[in-house]
Structure 1
């Protein structure tokens, strides 16, 4: 670049203000590390070694970046879960495995983000309402998954809640469980959630997706 190194190559050009993504990444990191009170303009500017005025090129005020942070959580966590519910599956067991994959994949749904947002909701009625809307959308997607396999609506709703509340419970309780241990329990979880046991073929595909071979076959 004519005016110096780009941010991506490890330096900053003269007058570099960052970018919307850079400021949002910093806000997310501060939020996850230290909570909502750490997401302040001056704190983020110091974290990025940028001027406070640079922030205003990308966000109107602190509320704007907080709104962006919430939207980012929605994109990462809610949309990831909804997409898993709507993903192709031959059987309900495979569909539930698709959903469970969300909670063990390194990319996509982020448990720490979920916990932090829900903590924020306890401080703000407006955020609590928005989180409730996200919960309703997630539950609707899960119920829709069961209904695709001819589960009656009332039963689909209960099964959806069983899946969802179990997973959110893992996060809220901050359960310390290794990924191999949790995955080993998934066949029994699928039977509990869906009423059927996944086949050896379905488990083999699931294990291959997570790079753990076919140990549970």
Structure 2
């Protein structure tokens, strides 16, 4: 029996997922049409059913990163919060839930941007959006503009450092440290209830 055309071509998400895995494991130079086809046991023509060329795939990969990492971070900063501590806990969900923020993908994009000037510009723009989202959260909870901006920079630069250094820590250790980061970033000691509610989301 002959395979159906859909089976022979796969799907756009299938090709994107394979490209993502190659990007995070081996870098952008490894993301080639033939290599993807071999990985998926598909033909090269299957790729071109979904993407005009390799550049179109690159655009889709970058869009996925922007949608997943930057947009989710912005959304968490805008989530309902009674005070800055609960707001920061909402944001910290990103660092513990890969479906909200994919650190491996963020690192791969940062490495890719070293050799792609256009992507470097988009990465810089994304970092500005992230910093402003965090600063806006601080302003919303009564911090002056200067304080909000510096605290926004501190939060995002700290996380970029975590990502770039590929810090190895257990999930338990990271969870235990989050309340201290919240206190450090905000200057306010979160209440036991706020800490417990955050931890309950990540058990």
Query: Do both proteins adopt the same fold according to a TM-score greater than 0.5, normalized to the shorter chain?
Result: yes
Shorter-chain TM band = over 0.9
**TM score, norm. by length of structure 1:** 0.89
Instruction: State the partner residue of 1:84.
Output: 76
**Correspondence for 1:121:** 113
1:122-168 C-alpha deviation (Å, 9 max, x unpaired): 11111100100100111111011001111111110000011111111
Is the aligned partner of 1:193 residue 2:185?
A: yes
Q: Does 1:53 align with 2:33?
A: no
Q: TM-score, normalised by structure 2?
A: 0.95
Runs of 4+ aligned residues of structure 1 deviating over 6 Å after TM superposition are: none
Q: Deviations over 1:159-216 (max 9, x none)?
A: 00111111111111111111111111122211110110110110111011111xxxxx
Structure 2 CA distance for aligned equivalents of residues 84 and 138 of structure 1: 11
Runs of 5+ consecutive residues of structure 2 not aligned to the other structure: none
**Structure-to-structure mapping, 1:162-173, within 5 angstroms:** 162-173=154-165
Higher relative contact order (CA 8 A, sep 6+): 2
Aligned with residue 112 of structure 1, among 104, 112, 122: 104
The Cα of 1:63 is off from its aligned counterpart by: 0.3
1:27: Cα distance to partner? 0.6
**SS state at 1:109 partner:** coil
Q: Deviations over 1:22-42 (max 9, x none)?
A: 111111111111111111111
Root-mean-square deviation over aligned CA pairs: 1.2
Count of residues in Structure 1 that have an aligned counterpart in Structure 2: 201
CA distance in 2, matches of 1:186, 1:72: 27
The DSSP-based 3-state class of the residue aligned with 1:32 is helix
